[in-house]
C-alpha cells in the first residue's frame, strides 16, 4: 500500500474535493489541495517551498483572474506541508494568518486527524478568502476542486 492509501482513502479525497467546492462558494478565490505520496526524484534536493511553487505553476494556479489561487501541498514521505497563496492574496492577507492556519493543521496531523484536518484548513481558507475576495456575480470556478495526487 502506498503512503497515500495509509493517510487518505478515495472517499477522503472526494470529501476534501467537496470541501474545496463548498469553501469557494463565498469567495472568488481558488483553493487546491495536492498530495504527494513520495517526493518526485527531481525534487529530492528541494525544500518544500520550492516544491510548492513548482506544483502551484504546474496546476495553473497562477492563471486565475485576480491571482487569488491558494494551494495546500502535502508531502507524505517528508511529513510536511506548505500553504502557498498567489500574489493577489498576499496584497491583502498577511503570512501570519496562513501560519496560524498551518499550525491548526499541524495539531490535527499530530492527532492523526488527516482528512478532518485538511477539510478544516480548506474551510478556514475559504472563510479568510471570502472576507477579502467575496464571490462576484460573474464568478466562475477557474480550477478543478479535485485533489491532485502524485
pTM higher than 0.85: yes
Q: What is the pLDDT of residue 138?
A: 74
Whose cell is 471570502? That residue is: 130
pLDDT score recorded for residue 55 = 98
Q: Name the CA dihedral angle for 20, 25, 30, 144, rounded to a multiple of 10 degrees.
A: 60
61: which 3 cell numbers? Answer: 494556479
Rounded to the nearest 10°, the torsion over CA 3, 31, 11, 148 is -40
pLDDT tens per residue across all 150 residues of the chain: 688 999 999 999 999 999 999 999 999 999 999 999 999 999 999 999 999 999 999 999 999 989 999 999 999 999 999 999 999 999 999 989 999 999 999 999 999 999 999 999 999 999 999 999 999 887 788 788 999 999
Residue 142, pLDDT score: 79
110 burial level (CB within 10 Å; 0-12, 13-18, 19+): exposed
Give the per-residue pLDDT at 52: 97
The predicted structure's pLDDT at residue 141: 80
Q: How open is the CA angle 85-89-93, to the nearest 5 degrees? A: 105
Q: Return d(Cα 37, Cα 49) in angstroms, integer.
A: 17
> What structural domains and CATH numbers belong to the chain?
3-135 (3.10.310.50)
- Can you read off the three cell numbers belonging to residue 94? 498577511
Q: What's residue 114's pLDDT?
A: 97
- Write down the pLDDT at residue 1: 64
Backbone phi, psi, residue 7, to 5°: -95, -35
Distance (Å, whole) CA 50 – CA 81: 12
Q: Which three cell numbers stand for residue 142?
A: 477557474
Amino acid at each position: 500500500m502506498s503512503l497515500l492509501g495509509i493517510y487518505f482513502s478515495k472517499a477522503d479525497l472526494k470529501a476534501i474535493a467537496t470541501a474545496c467546492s463548498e469553501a469557494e462558494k463565498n469567495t472568488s478565490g481558488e483553493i487546491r489541495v495536492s498530495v504527494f505520496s513520495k517526493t518526485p526524484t527531481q525534487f529530492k534536493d528541494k525544500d518544500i517551498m520550492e516544491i510548492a511553487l513548482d506544483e502551484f505553476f504546474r496546476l495553473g494556479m497562477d492563471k486565475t483572474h485576480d491571482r487569488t489561487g491558494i494551494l495546500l501541498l502535502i508531502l507524505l514521505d517528508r511529513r510536511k506541508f506548505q500553504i502557498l497563496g498567489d500574489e493577489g492574496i498576499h496584497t491583502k492577507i498577511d503570512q501570519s494568518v496562513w501560519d496560524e492556519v498551518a499550525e491548526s493543521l499541524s495539531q490535527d496531523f499530530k492527532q492523526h486527524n488527516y482528512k478532518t484536518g485538511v477539510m478544516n484548513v480548506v474551510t478556514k481558507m475559504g472563510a479568510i478568502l471570502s472576507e477579502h475576495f467575496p464571490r462576484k456575480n460573474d464568478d466562475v470556478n477557474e480550477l478543478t476542486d479535485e485533489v491532485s495526487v502524485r
